[in-house]
Amino acid sequence: MTTIQGLTYLEVAFDEQGQLTSGGDELLAAAAGASAAAAPGACNVFFMTHGWNNSEDSARTLYQNMFRLLSGMLGTNLSSTIAVGVIWPARALSEDDPAVEQAASPTDDVLSLAKVFPQQQDDVAALGAALGAPQPAVAGAAGLYAQARALVTSPASPVPGYDEDAPLVRGPGAGLGLDLERLIEHVCGNSLDIVRVFTYYEMKNRAGVVGQQGLGPLVRELGAQVAGVRVHLMGHSFGARLVAHALVGLGDVENPQASPVKSVLFLQGAFSHFAFAPAITQAATPGEEGPLAGLTARVDGPLLSTFTSADRALGAWYPMATMIQHEDLALLDHPANRWGAMGHDGFQQANAVTALLAPQGSPYTFTPGTCYRLDANAVINADQSPFAGAHSDICHPEVLWAAASAAQTTA
């Protein structure tokens, strides 16, 4: 445990199955101590979860920067607030993360995946062998497609009924005879791109597993052991999906007021923008409810989602990757609409409220139980990479001000 400009900071870590590996006892003790020293109901705990392809070092840098901004907004709430960085095994290739040492070769880079696929050492080795061939083959039992696909073992939702993509699926192939191997070969620029595609699918699924079986139960235990604790969940990219599925793992609550979760912030969320919709117009059965729609009852406060058109990762690549994942070309609908991501255009539902991501100090009028689309086009817009655009351009005072305002902890 340490501090960031006076803000208590600690970390919790989960493995790929959502098992808590460190930090849980320290968090419970710190929250109990902060609660005992504060007025009843004044202890606030902010959780922040990183996204895909973040090493632990990258995640820690993100958390330090984000919580440094938050600390200056808490005023008299600073001493009774705890910031928690969530570490989960989402890193894929070293060449995609400048915070880690780069692998000597593509084969070495793939073999390094063994660190985040501890139960699949043989699959990783076979994938490395396939990539190391003089002329790597895509198709066939020993080809890159089959070997990389073997890495996808996590379910989209361990608890049945909460896969937010399920209502949108009309495949396999949507009756189009889709040849996935040829399609993957066409859309991938090189052999490592094929590896990226399937590690992407695994980490997307894994986020749901860690949320449901890891973070959700930890938050539930925190609420049970520390009376009046106020929990605020923030997640970036696939970390936003993790946070959404933590609401599943929270379990049933008698009413929103009984829930320890008082606010949720999805930062450029990489999961379906229909997830919380009472009725999905693009569903295979139009009007079907989003699988996470009922979970707003587990949040005693607002749910926020930032969105920006400058996020190329979510505006272009996410819908294409999701469309391919579900073997559905979606030719009858614009894929960015049907397969769109939360961080591209926010909650897609009639009962969502649109608001501008406001400057620090500007008042918000957030209402509990309401979903807010925070238009971040004027803030989250730095073109940080040819692939992702502004996807990770989230460290801004305006972002943390929205979080603090939703949590009602502003000075």
Domain boundaries, the chain: 2-93+205-316+333-407, 99-201
| CA distance readout (Å), 182 to 50, 191, 293, 366, 384 | 32, 13, 36, 48, 31
Q: How many CA atoms lie within 13 A of 245 on its CB side?
A: 32
State residue 391's pLDDT score.
94
Q: SS3 of 167, please?
A: helix
- 82 alpha carbon, distance to own chain's centre: 21
**Integer Cα distance of 86 and 351 in angstroms:** 31
Q: pLDDT tens string for the chain (411 positions)?
A: 899 999 999 999 999 999 999 999 999 999 999 888 777 767 999 999 999 888 898 999 999 999 999 999 999 999 999 999 999 999 777 666 666 677 777 788 788 888 889 999 998 888 888 888 887 777 777 778 788 888 899 999 999 999 999 998 876 654 444 455 665 665 565 677 778 888 889 999 999 999 999 999 999 999 999 999 999 999 999 999 999 999 999 998 877 788 999 999 999 999 999 999 999 988 888 899 999 999 999 999 999 999 999 999 999 888 878 877 776 665 545 555 888 999 999 999 999 999 999 999 999 999 999 999 999 999 999 998 887 899 999 999 999 999 999 999 764
Which stretches within 283-338 are classed as H helix? 312, 318-325, 335-338
- Give the burial class of 224: count Cβ atoms within 10 A of its Cβ; 0-12 exposed, 13-18 middle, 19 or more buried: exposed
**Integer Cα distance of 97 and 81 in angstroms:** 31
The number of beta carbons lying within 10 Å of the beta carbon of residue 333 is: 16
- 248 alpha carbon, distance to own chain's centre: 14
DSSP 38: S
State residue 188's pLDDT score.
63
At the second CATH level, the architecture of 2-93+205-316+333-407 is 3-Layer(aba) Sandwich (3.40)
β-bridge partners, 355: 374
Q: Are 38 and 80 in contact (CB under 8 A)?
A: yes
Residue spans of beta strands (DSSP E) within 239-334: 261-267, 303-307
The number of beta carbons lying within 10 Å of the beta carbon of residue 139 is: 14
**Integer Cα distance of 410 and 394 in angstroms:** 19
Listed as own residue / partner, the contacts of 317-323 with beta carbons closer than 8 Å and 24 or more positions apart are 317/387, 318/270, 318/344, 320/187, 321/197, 321/200, 321/201, 322/165, 322/272
Q: Are 244 and 212 in contact (CB under 8 A)?
A: no
State residue 187's pLDDT score.
59
State residue 321's pLDDT score.
80
Q: SS3 of 29, please?
A: helix
How, if at all, do strands 371-375 and 303-307 pair?
parallel
Question: Quick one: residue 306, left, alpha or beta (phi over 0 = left, psi -120 to 50 = alpha)?
Answer: beta
The number of beta carbons lying within 10 Å of the beta carbon of residue 257 is: 9
| CA distance readout (Å), 72 to 41, 389, 401, 410 | 21, 28, 10, 9
Q: Are 259 and 289 in contact (CB under 8 A)?
A: no
The number of beta carbons lying within 10 Å of the beta carbon of residue 361 is: 11
Closest CA to 132 of 152, 103, 100: 103
| Sequence-separated (6 or more) residues with CB below 8 Å from residue 309 | 315, 344, 345, 377
